[in-house]
Structures are given as structure tokens and as C-alpha cells.
Structure 1
């Protein structure tokens, strides 16, 4: 029996077992259940939040150190510019393909139509308090907010930006500039800085590995509390919409990204799925690309063999601006709401949704409740009331977990493809360990 001890399982199997156990325990229970006066939901919330805070604790120093080391290791500004343009080009391509997949899926299934009629009345499931809370987050949002995010790319105070989780892009921009111009410093100072930031990066990765030892416990808490709140019954009225998003996300991960990995990266997609499994499970349970960033970097370094100079540039940037799953969801959600209101959208309006979803998937990444904000902007662009967002609240948490996993996987695919362009060898072998 000792050979089957859970302690000897690989981390991803421990996390998967934790998710299964959390669903088994959480789904049958209400969120007000308590034992000896202690709320189970509060216990799960505490355990999950503790793990999530641990991951978030290392994000800013890890991102800053990895970006500086990565850019410095790339050498000349010309090299940085070439990798940066290729990286952004891939992110735009993958997001565009994701949106098109979502658009095709929602046009085929038409989740907003029930028995041939718009489903506005049947699907108005949100309570007034829930709807008011959602509308408070998106009230007054417009494309001006996107411009504000791009302005915040250049922080007036980098220390304040580092302390604000919504300004990770500003930290990345500062890190790129610091790493780029660090090579211009005098040799003595340059070497000292390079050793310092490499030491910070290595230390943060060791802290990440320590935190990940508790991942199964933290994941259990995060998933169990979500399962207690949502339950299965809440998905029934929105089953077609929910399944449409899930199918489209799955198609993007297992078909689109597999093709890109094979054609652009020259690698076997099955090897990459196996290598990134722990990161995808962490992304699913935390619903945060930024919080998963340390795990993504570790999987790419240890399981794939992508160099630090490539992964430390591509992944932090992707965690901030590349949102394939989010962009796909925004498109499907906007079309679903339009169908539910009985609005028939022509080709021109659907193309407008595609373009706005592509823009907002990048531009609103630094805004709290980013998906709701993005959907509000899309609805405004096609003339629909914001109250339609109320239709999305029931399934949003679980779909958020799924689309975050897709976002993280897309980032990792970009890192492998960029490694291929950089002629890095021995990927998916034991030689890099």
C-alpha cells in the first residue's frame, strides 16, 4: 500500500484529487452549513484565501526580477524589440482566433433563444441586489477606460504601482526599461545588478516551490467554497450558454492551440499539455493568471526547458495582456445577451464585437472585474442595456476559472513558440533539469 501513498503522487495528481474531493464535498452542501458552530464555508474560504495570498505575495518581486533578468539576458534593444513584436503578434493572433471560435459557436447554438423566442424573461435569474452590484462595477465604463489603462503603463511612482495588483503592466514596463538600460551601466555596477536580480529571481522561485507544497490544500478550499455557492441546480436554466462557452474554450485549447504549437513551435502538443497540467489546474482553482504566474514559469523551466531569458519576458507580459479565454467569453456573452433581448446582429455588428472584444481583452486587463467591464463596453457599442449583464452572474465564477486556465495555457504556448524561434534546444527532455 505504501507505493500508493498520496504523498508520493506528482503534484498535478494531488491537485486533481483535491479538486475532485472539493466537488464531492462542496456540491451537496449549502453555504450556511456549520459544524459545532463553525461555518464550513468560512473554513474553506480561509484555507483557499491563505494559499492565494501566498501566491500573490511573490508575484510582484518575481515579475520584476524575471523581466529585468530576461531583458538583460536578451542583450541588444534590437533583440528585445524582435522578441517583443513576435510575442505581441502571437498574442493578437491567438486572441483573434479565440474570438472567432466563440462567435461561430454562439451563432450555432444560439443560447439566447428558447423555443424560437428571445429568452429575456426566462433567463432573468439575478436578484436585484446582485444586479445592482454588477452594475456598480461597470457603470460609466467606456473605451476611455482602456485609454486610462494604457496611460498607467508608465507609472508616476513605481513603488505604488508595485503595491497595486491592478498595475502589474506598469511594473512590467518599468522592468523592461530597467533591464534594457542596465546593459548601459558601467561593468562593475552592471555585474552587481545582474547578480542581484538573478538572486532575487532564484529566491522567489524557491519560495514559490515552498508555497506549492500546500497547493492541494489551498485548491481544495478554493474549489469547495465555489461549489457550495454555485451548486449544480443554478446551471440548468443557462445550460446551453454554459456548454457553448465550455465547448468553445475546449476547442481553442485542444484544436487551435495544438495546431499553432505544431506548426509554429514544431513540438508535440501532447507533451505540452502534460508539462503545463499543474499550471492549468492552479489557474482553474485560483481564477487568476497573475497568481498562477510563478507556477507557469516553474512548469516552463522544469517540465519544458524554456530558458529563463525567454520565459521571463513572455510569461509576465502574457499574464497581463494575453486573455484568449476572456476574449472568447466576452464575445459569446455579448452575443448571448443580444439574442436574449431579441436583437438580430448583422455581419458588420458581429465584426464590431470581434474588434471590441480583441481590444478590451488587452486594454482592460488592469481594471477590477475586467470581464464585466469589457462586456459593458461591448454592449454599449451595439446599443444594448447593461442590465443584460445580470444574465451572466450565475455561471460567471466557474466560467472565470475555465477561461483563466485557457489564458495561462495560451501564454505557455507562446513561450514555447518563441523558444523555437530563438533556436532553443532540448525542450521536453531531461537534459534541462
Structure 2
């Protein structure tokens, strides 16, 4: 897209800015030769997303199997797995608590007047006051059932990443438990598959600026900037909470726990963050995330291939934060005051459902519907946030991806890896 030499993240950033300008200028109707620009953006963007999604299943399977098989004994696997899950649970909980604090301080859903008139609700608010908090979280059990697929091929075809990850973890572990002759052949096959997937990723990333331009231009042409008016305070609350987690919580973990420079890590993750923002899919961004963490941040393939594919499915800091804020915003919009116990239930549901949310655009709306149902709110409340959900989806996906990458860095450092996010040595004078 750009004839002069620029680093990939600068190319993507320029594409983002141009996309906003072009999307506002052309809207949905403008076109050329009878074809609307909107249709062109949709076609090109879908091509780029399809190319990225094409890599997801073989990349996740090969990277996890290679990573787990490379760990060797069960002691190594247990140690690395424990650190990874501990990090993911901790950061997701931090994110939810940040969201909970902001939505209670700002109270974006509190309005003057009758909520039914202001927001166009149909539900009986008085009846809701009696039912809120009276339901349990039984639907969350489905998250755990999806961990063990009935048919692993069907799970791969349907994009059920939890089941695929569980199968890959078992497969990689038992490669270390079979005879050396068979184990060596299996490892070589999946190592070769992983290398091929990374080479294909490099090829697809050559077209990333074009794909990003098309995806963002389509979104802006579709929604414009007018959709933010009625939901400005909700939008601001989510962005502020995401910003605190992205710019304060995670950098503090990098600095004090990982012992590395957050500034260097932001620079290393530039292209992955911009791709996550434009695609709104942590799964589709996974190939770029792995490339940035390995090549730019200097984390070993051993750590990266285990931590990042797992994180792309189970670590959703931004999504968990958004679910919590959205559920409480909708409750506020109905004029309801949630008790501490009900808010605690929201926190736990946001933590658990974020684990099972697919890494694709708008998947968190399904999790929000589970939370609303569990605390007794009607699903019509989701209609409140649809106007701004896409833009916020792009933002929270970037937070998801950045948290995954921070986890890889922190865990890599805890494993004794050297050279992570270290300044490159200056060339010796001639």
C-alpha cells in the first residue's frame, strides 16, 4: 500500500487514519461504476479476516503441541501452566474491579426521567426490582462443558477453541510419554507445521495495511460518529476503565513483576495492537501477536507457543471489564440499584464467561446476555449498547491482546529467560 519503506505498525497506523477520513467522506451510498465503496470495503476486509482466520486452527494446534511437547516432563508443564493460569485469572480480576469501580463512580446509566421513555424500554421496571438477583449462574457450566469436545474435528470446524486447546494440550503431553522413535516423528511434524504457519502469516501481513483500511473504513462508513451521542457517558466510562488497565495496571505488572520496560513492550507490540484494534478479533490477531512477542520482545518460542494460544481463548481482560460495565450500566438504565451480593455475582460471572468467549467480533454480547439473565434483567437492554459496541469491541480486543503479550513476557522472565525486551547493542564504530 505504501511505496516507501515504513515499519509495519506505521503502515497500519496510517491506514487507520486514512480509513476514518475516507469512511466519513463516502458513507454507505457513494460508489463508482455502480459499485458502492462500502461494498468494496466489506469485500476487501472480509478477505483479510478470512486469511487470518484460515491460520487459527492449524496455528493453535501446532503451537500448543510443540510448546507442551517441548516442556518435557509433567513438572515443567505443571509449573508453566500454573503460572499462566494464575496470571490470566489475576489480570482478568483486576480488569473487572477497575470496570466495577468506574461504573459505580460515574454511573453512566443514571438519567433524569422515566427510563422507559428515555431508553424506550418495554419491561416493567417495578417487576424487575423483585427478580433481580434471584437467579443463579448455572449457564456458566456450559463454559466448562465446551472444554471437552465430543468431536475434535467438529470443534475445529466450528471454532470452539476451548475444546481444541484442551485436546492439543493432551496430545502434546502424551507425545512425551510415547517411545522416542514415535515422539521424535510427531514433534518434527508439528514443528514443521508451526514454521509453515508462521511463514504464511508473514505473507498475509504484507497486506495488513490494506485489510485494516478496509475494515475500519467500513465501520466508520456504517456508523459514522453520530451513534456516540446518546451513549457518550457509557462510552467514556468503558474507554476510561480500559485505559487504566492498559496504561496503568499492565505496565505496573511488567515493571514490578517482570522487571522490564513497559515502553519497550508497547513499541514491540505496535503492529499486533493495531491489528487487534482493526479486526476486533484476538484469535485472528494471534499469528501477529506471536510474531511480535518472539521477534520484537525476545520471548522464547517455548514460552510463546504455550502462553499466547491459551491466552487468545481464556484471557480476555478487556472483554471481562466490558461485560461488567455493560451489565451494571443496563441495570442503572432501568433505575435499579444492585446490592453488593448482586454486583459480586456480576464480577464472578464476568470472570467465568470471559474465559469461554470466542475471540471474534461481538462475541461478548453472548456473555453479557448470560450475565443479564443470571441477575434477572431482560435481554432488551443489550440494544442500548449496540450502537457503540463495535468501536468498543476494537478497543477491548487490543487490551486482550496486550494482556496476553504481557503474560508471555512476565512468565518468560520468571522462567529465567534472558534478552527479553533488552535494548539492542549499538554497532561498534568503524
Relative to the length of structure 2, the TM-score reads 0.91
- Structure 1 residues 392 and 125 mapped into 2: Cα distance closer, same or farther (>3 Å)? farther
Alignment match, 2:49: 52
Alignment match, 2:39: 42
Alignment match, 2:118: 122
- Structure 1 residues 146 and 372 mapped into 2: Cα distance closer, same or farther (>3 Å)? same
Residue from 408, 412, 429 that aligns with 1:415: 408
Native 8 Å contact 1:112 1:338 kept in 2: yes
Deviation at 1:148, TM superposition (A): 2.6
Q: In the aligned structure 1, how far is the partner of 2:249 from the partner of 2:382?
A: 28
Q: In the aligned structure 2, how far is the partner of 1:118 from the partner of 1:277?
A: 45
In structure 1, list runs of 5 or more residues that go unmatched: 127-140
Alignment match, 2:4: 7
Q: In the aligned structure 2, how far is the partner of 1:410 from the partner of 1:335?
A: 24
RMSD: 2.0
Segment drifting more, 27-36 vs 54-63: 27-36
Superposition map of 1:187-206 within 5 A: 187-206=180-199
Alignment match, 1:385: 378
Q: Does 1:148 align with 2:165?
A: no
Alignment match, 2:219: 226
Residue from 233, 245, 252 that aligns with 1:259: 252
Count residues in correspondence. 411
Native 8 Å contact 2:143 2:355 kept in 1: no
**CA deviations over 1:37-94 (Å, ceiling 9, x no partner):** 1011110011111111111111111111100110011111121111111111111111
Native 8 Å contact 1:101 1:252 kept in 2: yes
Native 8 Å contact 2:16 2:216 kept in 1: yes
Alignment match, 1:90: 87
Q: In the aligned structure 1, how far is the partner of 2:120 from the partner of 2:31?
A: 31
Superposition map of 1:153-232 within 5 A: 153-165=147-159, 167-232=160-225
- Structure 1 residues 125 and 32 mapped into 2: Cα distance closer, same or farther (>3 Å)? farther
Q: In the aligned structure 2, how far is the partner of 1:80 from the partner of 1:142?
A: 35
- Structure 1 residues 120 and 20 mapped into 2: Cα distance closer, same or farther (>3 Å)? farther
Native 8 Å contact 2:238 2:322 kept in 1: yes
Q: In the aligned structure 1, how far is the partner of 2:149 from the partner of 2:345?
A: 31
Alignment match, 1:138: none
Deviation at 1:292, TM superposition (A): 0.4
Native 8 Å contact 2:282 2:359 kept in 1: no
Alignment match, 1:135: none
Alignment match, 1:27: 24
Superposition map of 1:393-408 within 5 A: 393-408=386-401
In structure 2, list runs of 5 or more residues that go unmatched: 123-134, 426-430
Alignment match, 1:130: none
Native 8 Å contact 1:125 1:391 kept in 2: no
Native 8 Å contact 2:84 2:411 kept in 1: yes
Native 8 Å contact 2:261 2:421 kept in 1: no
Q: Does 1:72 align with 2:69?
A: yes
